[in-house]
């Protein structure tokens, strides 16, 4: 997982140039993948703690992240096909 400073450095580097819609969707997909990795770590913590409520909440969060990923992927495909 990238450190916060690395994320800010990347954002600052990108601020100078205009981002296309497809680039924005791609950036969003990368961000969602990072979130999914964090959720996977939380899922393991929930299993280790044997906390079913926490685990269920984590599963719901992962499902929302996957839904967001699918939506972004469809939008990215649409943006690529429109050019």
pTM of the model: 0.72
Note down pLDDT in tens along the chain; length 83 residues: 567 677 767 777 766 667 788 888 898 999 999 999 999 999 999 999 999 999 999 999 999 999 999 999 999 888 888 76
**pLDDT for 39:** 96
- Domain residues for the domain of 54 are 20-81
Domain membership of residue 61 (yes or no) is yes
Q: Is residue 15 part of a domain?
A: no
Q: What is the pLDDT of residue 74?
A: 93
SS (H, E, C) 28-73: HHHHHHHHHHHHHHHHHHHHHHCCHHHHHHHHHHHHHHHHHHHHHH
| Model pLDDT, residue 82 | 76
- Is residue 3 assigned to a domain? no
């Amino acid at each position: 997982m990238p450190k916060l400073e690395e994320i800010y450095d990347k954002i600052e580097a990108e601020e100078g140039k205009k981002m296309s819609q497809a680039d924005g969707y791609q950036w969003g997909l990368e961000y969602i993948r990072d979130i999914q990795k964090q959720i996977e770590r939380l899922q393991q913590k929930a299993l280790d703690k044997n906390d079913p409520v926490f685990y269920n909440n984590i599963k719901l969060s992962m499902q929302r992240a996957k839904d967001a990923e699918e939506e972004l992927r469809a939008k990215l495909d649409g943006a690529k096909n429109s050019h």
